[in-house]
Amino acid sequence: MSVGIRHDDLRRRNRAMVIAAVRRAGQPSRTEIAATTGLSHSTISAISSDLIGEGILAESKPSEAASLKRGRPQVGLSLNPEAATVMTVVLSLNFLSVAVIDYAGQVISEEQRRLDTLTMPRDALIGECTAIVRRRFEDPDLDVRSVARIALAIQGITDTRSRAMLWSPITPHTDIAFADILEAEFGIPATMENDCNMMAIALRWRDPDRYRDDFIAILLSHGIGMGLVLKGELFTGTHSSGGEFGHMIHQPNGALCRCGRRGCVEAYAGNYAIWRNARQMGEDAEPVADVSDADMRALATAARERDGPEREAYRKAGEALGYGLGSLFALIDPAPVAMVGVSAAAFDLIEPALRQAIAQTAGGQHSESISFDTEPNELPLIREGCAMRALTFVDQEIFAPGAQARGSVGKSVA
Amino acid sequence: MSVGIRHDDLRRRNRAMVIAAVRRAGQPSRTEIAATTGLSHSTISAISSDLIGEGILAESKPSEAASLKRGRPQVGLSLNPEAATVMTVVLSLNFLSVAVIDYAGQVISEEQRRLDTLTMPRDALIGECTAIVRRRFEDPDLDVRSVARIALAIQGITDTRSRAMLWSPITPHTDIAFADILEAEFGIPATMENDCNMMAIALRWRDPDRYRDDFIAILLSHGIGMGLVLKGELFTGTHSSGGEFGHMIHQPNGALCRCGRRGCVEAYAGNYAIWRNARQMGEDAEPVADVSDADMRALATAARERDGPEREAYRKAGEALGYGLGSLFALIDPAPVAMVGVSAAAFDLIEPALRQAIAQTAGGQHSESISFDTEPNELPLIREGCAMRALTFVDQEIFAPGAQARGSVGKSVA
DNA sequence: CTCTATTTTTTCGAGCCTCGAAAAAATACT
DNA sequence: AGTATTTTTTCGAGGCTCGAAAAAATAGAG
């Protein structure tokens, strides 16, 4: 059962709250923090004085707009970039990237690398990941001790505890406990996250007005992924990262999916499925391993030019996505959707059939009011989400230790 | 954003925690409460002394088993039945029932009534509800002032704030703010809940070992409903009660559903759908308004006796439920399922096709390990859930005021 | 150039709350 | 009757937040 609140949790939680307020607002004054947190000025004063003393926050120049006002000018509080650093590792199909990010969220250094994830042996894949991290540590400019957290993201299913990759389309291997491996290797806390969840976190930081408490990020790529934020919290399954939107059933006994089953949404809307339909290869054709972004763009161009199998392929993708979203909306009610990935650039071809399908479902009662946004480039989003994930971990678990250990106050996405 | 913790919230939250511990454990000693809440003995002593002084808790006889032990005997703490009462109102097809329940959860009095919900005018329906509540208030044995909360449950969609029924299959009328209406009428806080959510709450109280943090309650009745508990909390949509499992899409452009759309799970698995298929009326046949429980039982008997359209109807129901559950499990991972309602008594006819379908979905990877439980009688469950819903409201909002107003510590189902 | 109004931030004492340790209470065992 | 054991209460210490007041820092008025 949930547990009582001990007296010392109070300060820790309010510390975390202040740090979160600064991370969100950028350069808020103490008065502004008091307003957003609902705590008294005295408390904010005491806490921020502590945090400055510990080198977590720093005072910045009084904000420009405020100097027009009378009275004592506000002093902005900001995150001290040197308080800590975090590392992000993003593993996607044939591509591995790492970045070092300071406490204020700026990228310090990065490295990217192509590799053949589909055919690599298990050990080689793990080795590449540890090696790329190690190379960052060897950078003489980087203070190794400052690295407080490593966040990995991978396309595929991870476990709820964010320790391991359970299954991924980018490698034949399963159940790799990347988080444990990196922790053992470098002695730094690490987590293994799902790529679409990180996209959702990044969207929330990028555009908190549109993506606030309830929204959906859908990755339209070789496969179909989803990151879901409900009531301000990242939605995950009970055992895994969950949210396997791409593998909801669209057509019982339908098209062959990359996962080996039939009729999944992905088997109609993934790049390989669009490709298969556009090339009229039949729904039983084995999914191809990869379709280049250029090929997909050519497909979209062809579909825009004339009515033919390409256009029909996108229509089928839209239909599958629409019925899938309709079923999802039946469960969670409609919410804003962000379409991310290379096929999001072809969303104009997908949207009509999608809206038509969704209008025929219970969740689509107000289908014209459901709004879609597109973002063709998923990698920067994933990296950004990872960074925020790692940074907020440092905020909460390291700079306000114990605050999140019990109960659930103040938990929120990222 | 989430808000800081003020000093006085501390006591309120810990009060709520102590009350919750007593409600859960029945007659725990102070020492046991200290252990489950993690608070110190001194704190528990102080809080329980307050609660006893306020008439919320009462000391009961030392528990029998403990007297075998040495030392000072434990004193059990229990809920004082006279601390408050709550009222539950359950509105289902052609049936209205009300009950008064004391603070310890015992039914004090009840009344049940048949009425024709499908044809009643809006005002008459509302009038029946207020009248049946008023009659309970007129009971001379009932201290009107003790009634602290009214919880209504209805089959259909309610809003997230638990104020109104938005849509229901039992009446043609929509958007009835029952909670507001009863509050205005009697001056007592009221909520309007979804029936399947109440079932889920009741299951959790009845069998916390099986139904703890993640489980699904599915109502197999004229329509198909679902109550979903994830991570220990009732899952609702962003705007409505959500969880409209019955209206996830099973077959695009498939059988005609009671909701007017096509291919919903319910259009294959609802009683009217099983009836329609068993009578070979075709998937376009208008759903019948009601099928009696006796007719459904006769159908099940016929299906068990011989291979024919009845058996096929149950097979189709199982298939729809299986694919629907498969899609749901793709999103949330598998969880224990309780099948409730008259058709749960025919689950033996449904299960084989259900398991076969689920095995073909992503969520059904370990389909043999997914466990189903059946409970043919939904009404007692709904009433029980309503009672617990109302009682825990009193625990938290009235006897520990302010505790839940900010943040989210200690929130949990019911 | 000084004084006043205004706004932000800090300081200080009061009031709560929880905690640990010790005391008190209540029983079983010897 | 005395001792051991377990539960519950008491009491002082320490920590935290709050409100009020003071201090700090600036713009505008005269």
The answer to whether the CB of A387 falls within 8 A of the CB of A101 is yes
Q: What is the pLDDT of residue B411?
A: 43
Report the 10 Å Cβ neighbour count for B293: 15
CA angle (A272, A262, B253) in 5-degree steps: 100
Q: What is the pLDDT of residue A225?
A: 96
State the Cα–Cα distance between residues A280 and B168, nearest whole angstrom: 45
Helix, strand and coil in chain A, % to nearest 5: 45, 20, 35
Check CB contact under 8 Å for B238 and A3. Answer: no
Q: What is the pLDDT of residue B379?
A: 95
Q: What is the pLDDT of residue B2?
A: 65
- Cβ of B45 near strand D (distance < 7 A): yes
State the Cα–Cα distance between residues B410 and B414, nearest whole angstrom: 11
Task: Find all residues with CB under 8 Å of B185, minimum gap 6, and list them.
Answer: B130, B133, B134
Q: What is the pLDDT of residue A414?
A: 56
State the Cα–Cα distance between residues A122 and A128, nearest whole angstrom: 10
| Binding-face residues of B in 284-323 toward A, CB within 8 A | 319, 323
Residue with token string 């490295």: A111
Q: Hey, which bits of B182-306 come out as E strands?
A: 190-194, 215-220, 224-230, 233-234
Interface residue of B14, B48, B231, B333 to substitute, partner A, most A CBs within 10 Å: B333
Q: What is the pLDDT of residue B410?
A: 38
Angstrom distance, A20 CA to C7 C1': 25
Check CB contact under 8 Å for A361 and B247. Answer: yes
Helix (H/G/I), strand (E/B), else coil: B217:
strand
Report the 10 Å Cβ neighbour count for B155: 24
Helix (H/G/I), strand (E/B), else coil: A110:
strand
State the Cα–Cα distance between residues B77 and B66, nearest whole angstrom: 14
Assign 3-class secondary structure to chain B. Answer: CCCCCCHHHHHHHHHHHHHHHHHHHCCCEHHHHHHHHCCCHHHHHHHHHHHHHCCCEEEECCCCHHHHCCCCCCCEEEECHHHCEEEEEEEECCEEEEEEEECCCCEEEEEEEECCCCCCCHHHHHHHHHHHHHHHHCCCCCCHHHEEEEEEEECCEEECCCCCEEECCCCCCCCECHHHHHHHHHCCCEEEEEHHHHHHHHHHHHCCCCCCCCEEEEEECCCEEEEEEECCEECCCCCECCCCHHHCECCCCCCECCCCCECECHHHHCHHHHHHHHCCCCCCCCCCCCCCHHHHHHHHHHHHHCCCHHHHHHHHHHHHHHHHHHHHHHHHCCCCEEEECHHHHHHHHHHHHHHHHHHCCHHHCCHHHCCEEEECCHHHHHHHHHHHHHHHHHHHHHCCCCCCCCCCCCCCCC
Check CB contact under 8 Å for A244 and B3. Answer: no
Which chain B residues touch A245 with a CB distance below 8 Å? Answer: 330-331
State the Cα–Cα distance between residues B214 and B232, nearest whole angstrom: 6
Check CB contact under 8 Å for B335 and A1. Answer: no
Min Cα separation B129/chain A (Å)? 28
Check CB contact under 8 Å for B264 and A408. Answer: no
Interface residue of A331, A395, A404, A413 to substitute, partner B, most B CBs within 10 Å: A331
The answer to whether the CB of A390 falls within 8 A of the CB of A151 is yes
Question: Is this structure's pTM higher than 0.75?
Answer: yes
- Cβ of B254 near strand C (distance < 7 A): no
Min Cα separation A189/chain B (Å)? 24
A180-207: burial string, b at 16+ Cβ within 10 Å, e else = ebbbeebebbbbbbbbbbbbbbbbbbbe
Give me the residues of chain B with pLDDT under 70, please: 1-2, 62-68, 363-367, 402-414
Smallest Cβ–Cβ distance between B332 and the set A213, A237, A412 belongs to: A237
Check CB contact under 8 Å for A17 and B2. Answer: yes
How far is residue A277 from each of residues A243, A271, A307, measured CA to CA in Å? 26, 10, 14
Backbone angles phi, psi at B320, to 5 degrees: -60, -45
Q: What is the pLDDT of residue A370?
A: 87
Min Cα separation A10/chain B (Å)? 7
Q: What is the pLDDT of residue A408?
A: 37
Which chain A residues touch B14 with a CB distance below 8 Å? Answer: 4-5
Best CA proximity match to A180, nearest among A201, A194, A165: A165
Tokens of A366: 């107000």
Which bases of chain C come closer than 7 Å to a protein CB? 5-13, 15-22, 24-29
Give me the residues of chain A with pLDDT under 70, please: 1-2, 62-68, 363-367, 402-414
Task: Find all residues with CB under 8 Å of A330, minimum gap 6, and list them.
Answer: A361, A362, A363, B244, B245, B247, B248, B249
Q: What is the pLDDT of residue A3?
A: 75
- Closest residue, chain A, to B410 (C-alpha): A2
State the Cα–Cα distance between residues A76 and A29, nearest whole angstrom: 5
Angstrom distance, A71 CA to D27 C1': 7
Q: What is the pLDDT of residue B72?
A: 87
State the Cα–Cα distance between residues B364 and B355, nearest whole angstrom: 8
Nucleic chain C: which protein residues 45-84 of A have CB below 7 A from it?
45-46, 48-49, 69-75
The answer to whether the CB of A187 falls within 8 A of the CB of A181 is no
Classify A243 in phi/psi space as left (phi over 0), alpha (psi -120 to 50) or beta. Answer: left
Task: Find all residues with CB under 8 Å of B29, minimum gap 6, and list them.
Answer: B63, B66, B74, B75, B76, B77
User: What's the DSSP call for residue B83?
Assistant: G
Sign, Cα dihedral of B302, B306, B308, B311: positive
Check CB contact under 8 Å for B331 and A242. Answer: yes
- Cβ of A64 near strand D (distance < 7 A): no
Smallest Cβ–Cβ distance between A333 and the set B237, B264, B360 belongs to: B237
